[in-house]
Amino acid sequence: MHRRAAGRTVVAAGLAACVNSTPDIAPSASTDGRKAAASSVTVYAAASLKSPFTEIASKFEAANPGTKVTLNFAGSSALVSQITQGAPADVFASADSRNMDELSAAGLIDGTPTNFATNVLTIAVSSADPASISSFADLANGHQSSCLRTAVPCGSAHGRWKRLPERHWMPVSEESSVADVLGKVTSGEADAGLVYVTDVKTAGDRVKGITFRESDQAVNTYPIAAMGSSKNKELANAFIAMVTGSAGKRVLGDAGFGAL
């Protein structure tokens, strides 16, 4: 049985990785409203985009009969590794600018990436919240902690924010995925965890999120771009147009992402 040390709040910090109406028709690359030619498009997207991009892909296929959208979700850095090793991606959507910049510097991006959404850290606690956490101060007041790696965008956001002079705290546990962080919280091994707002929304009623004003110091911006090696640039750009257009913005907003 897990025992909580008296007077101590245990905190786990995570790495990110986390239709009945008529579907909107994605514009073609020529912007004249025609549907893109029937084909397939492969989209590599950050794990935190799984829920909204799955819905957007369904809308895109409905708007472009005969088109197949293949989705590959993983951590942004893992996707970059796959792409640089020759994986056949048509579109890449990253959870931060750093990973997109890596592909751009390698000459693998077609054109300029488009920023399409933002995500922000929140404090995840179990629905019962036995520790009665209500603010970041409840976590930062001299409690035991450990460091967090920054390879994954959620961890990178936390790393930038934690380095600010007034942020004197360190999590007691370092996890490699959002699922692990939420598992610590729901099992009672940790009183709270730092994850994305969207991760809490996806987790349903198992956890609840506590917003804190300090999180605005480290907001992650999500860019998307077509790959230079894409064999169907028109379709890739049409998918990007749906993500960045009104249909995509509605889906992303419903998932908890900030709009751009």
What's the pLDDT at 28? 45
Mean pLDDT of 5-28: 44
* CATH T-level assignment (fold) for domain 120-217: D-Maltodextrin-Binding Protein; domain 2 (3.40.190)
Distance (Å, rounded) from C-alpha 131 to C-alpha 133?
6
Amino acid in position 55: E
Which tens digit of pLDDT belongs to each residue from 143-198? 332 223 344 444 454 554 454 444 555 667 777 777 778 888 888 888 888 888 99
What predicted TM-score, i.e. pTM, was given to this entire model?
0.77
Which tens digit of pLDDT belongs to each residue from 51-84? 999 999 999 999 999 999 999 999 898 999 999 9
Domain range list for the chain: 40-118+220-255, 120-217
Q: Is 200 annotated as a binding residue?
A: no
Distance (Å, rounded) from C-alpha 187 to C-alpha 130?
12
What's the pLDDT at 144? 32
When pLDDT is cut at 50, 70 and 90, the band that residue 137 belongs to is confident
Q: How far is CA 94 from CA 59, 132, 171, 178, 182, in A?
A: 21, 35, 25, 16, 22
Long-range contacts of 244-249 (CB under 8 A, 24+ apart): 244/114, 244/116, 245/24, 245/26, 245/27, 246/24, 247/23, 247/24, 247/26, 247/56, 247/59, 248/52, 248/56, 248/116
Strands 91-93 and 40-46: parallel
Out of 36-45, 106-115, 198-207, 235-244, least confident range: 36-45
Mean pLDDT of 33-52: 80
- 40-118+220-255 has CATH 3.20.190.10 classification: no
Q: Is 178 annotated as a binding residue?
A: yes
